[in-house]
Structure 1
Amino acid sequence: MKPAIETLNLFKLASGDEFSLQLYKFVGDKKGKKVYIQSNLHGSEIVGNAVISQLINFFSSLKKEQISGEIWLLPVCNPLGTNQRSHHFSSGRFNSYDGKDWNRIFWDYEKVCQNLEEFVNNNIKFDSLTIQENFLQQQKKAFSKQLEKINSYSSAPLFEQYRYQLQSLSMDANHVIDIHSSSNQCIDYLFCFPGQQEESAKYFQIDYGILMDTYDGDAFDEAFMKPWLALEKELENKGRNINLERESWTLELGSGMTMNSQSVNVGFNGIINYLVKKRILNLPNHSLISKEITLFARQDIQYYYAPTGGMIQNRLSLKNQAKAGEKLYEILSFNKQGKLPEIINICAEKDGFIFDISTNCSVNQGDYVLALCSPSLNKKD
């Protein structure tokens, strides 16, 4: 089957040039759930574009009856960030107009929803699908005020106009997958919300995940999921336990500024396996895989910053285990005091494994060097 392809205007520059997005829609032969997948929200994090390209090719080889519902794919979802350069290097993590992180700008309905308890009282006797549809329509009504502001004479800043585009595409989805990479060098992992998603996480076939024990709703996955989690909790408080059939994921696939084939394969195979599990894809010859994943809390990650300026050398590599007191890296430290260069050893403060490392080995005092992870949560079977 061929996808329906839509080109969406994003914003116009002073020169008259315009940025746009291109959306690929695969719609099955019967109604079902909606999956929304995007990539490259941060400029240097390009691996997800290759994953989506492979997904487009794979879905194009299927028959309509092999897809239940619809799958929307949006590669290169932030052209402004993707095209940002400093010399040959790409960052694109922050909006150059206002300094905001592109993934900390999103509209969180829970923060403006004043009548959640009233909504639950009025809907608690309905079936699950009716409750979900009514809540979605209430959320969309509140969200429409964002467009009213954008279209007014006073309009809205760039980040509000941009987020409206992405959230208007994804708000009615059942499954949202936002594909990222580290801006540095990193292992493959995912972000997972507590509850039912801990079970679903196994089907992405990724070894590690961060359990979202704290979140503020400003990131893309959080802004999508947070209102539904709040609704689920309020229903539970009223004695009604309902699976709201919403899941939101951030896949962190390896390192920035690279197209690592192993990370691409991890992302592609994991998404296909997950969609089979969720019965979005009907692939009779697919062997469903459930892989053990180690989930850890955010506080299990300890970030190491350079205590002085210099050059990083003899640093442990990704996934290497370190014991408390063991050397993590050296700083070759220079001076302007008539002294010889000095080697400073930096040691681990606790046991753990190397989770993420900086790309640049030239550091000023206070620059980020690496992250050490010491999982405190039990492995999930």
Structure 2
Amino acid sequence: MAQWLVIFLLPLAAWSGWWVAMRKEARMLRQNRSRAAYFEGLSYLLNDQTDKAVDVFVNMSALDHQTIDNQLTLGSLFRKRGELDRALHLHQQLAEQTTEPRQKRNIQFELGEDYRAAGMFAQAQSIFEALFNDQSEQRVMAVLIDVYERTGNWQAAQDMAQLWQDSGYGDKSRALGQYDCELAIEARARGDKGAAQAYLQSALGRDHGCIRANMLLGECALDDARYLSAIHALQSTADLSPAHIPELLPSLRKAHLAINQKDAYRSWLKELASRYDKARLQTAIADELAALDQPYEARVVLEQAVAGQRNPLLVWSCLRHHVPLEDHSEEIISALKPQTIYQCHDCGFRQQRPCWHCPACFSWNSFQAVLELKMEQR
């Protein structure tokens, strides 16, 4: 019996050894083919034949699923180089061929990033919302907030930012306050003053130092002829951010004159002039005093300011208000033309109008006024 068992087992053992050897050889063959294809793709990339490289890397996914991560990296590289068509082509091909859930999710995310980079926000939003509904992931929440901001969907941006904050991913109070301000502007545009007021109060509740909310409260009060409320809100804004005072002064003048408080406004301007020595603010105060039919007081402010600093802007303002200058050539100085440029301190983007949301880097409240002097050629 034992002999018959040995006779039966010997062929089985031989066949098992052959099967294992063939499996190992097939695996090594696949690895070698995958490695060869990988280096072939790299060769195409080095020769700037990116179309052929994409085809090679896509075909590799049928040989070895471990290469998908490398292909995703390649697609990200295409996107960063601005080759969005190649990135989309690669990611779309991978999405059609991949069935493993984790890899498919990563491919869909990269495809959404391609659409976002191309400005196709509707397609990007659809992909990211599907990913978010499937699994609330931090990276998906971050890009959804960005997409909602870029498309002006402020309520959705606020909801997602609130969820981000509640999830412990980071403080979003400043952004939430800005979303409230945007929603208040929309409510105001459709005539819903109550909702606008509620949004602005919410903005201050989220971000106590929200300059924009205070300014909007003042402007809303001014539009509604609630002049005392407007003065309180705008002067509070001036205390919070002296750099914004020149933009506040016309509205403050309108509110004071509406309730016959010209003298109070003039006194407040003189107090500001004694408190701050910034040339732009001194010039704005002088202009306001002149608008109140107080040219003498405007000249006094400028004389005191220019005595302390020979700033070209002050010199130009002195000439406008007929303040005598002894040591300057009026022909040269009168050629100076100041211009206010607003520049983002995060990315350096510049434009001629103030802005709360940078169109280049999408930072909030990042613009600062920068004064430039240009010399006219005569």
Query: What TM-score range do you get, normalising by the shorter chain?
Result: under 0.3
TM-score normalised by structure 2 residue count: 0.21
The structure that has the greater radius of gyration is 2
Point out the structure with the larger strand share: 1
Higher relative contact order (CA 8 A, sep 6+): 1
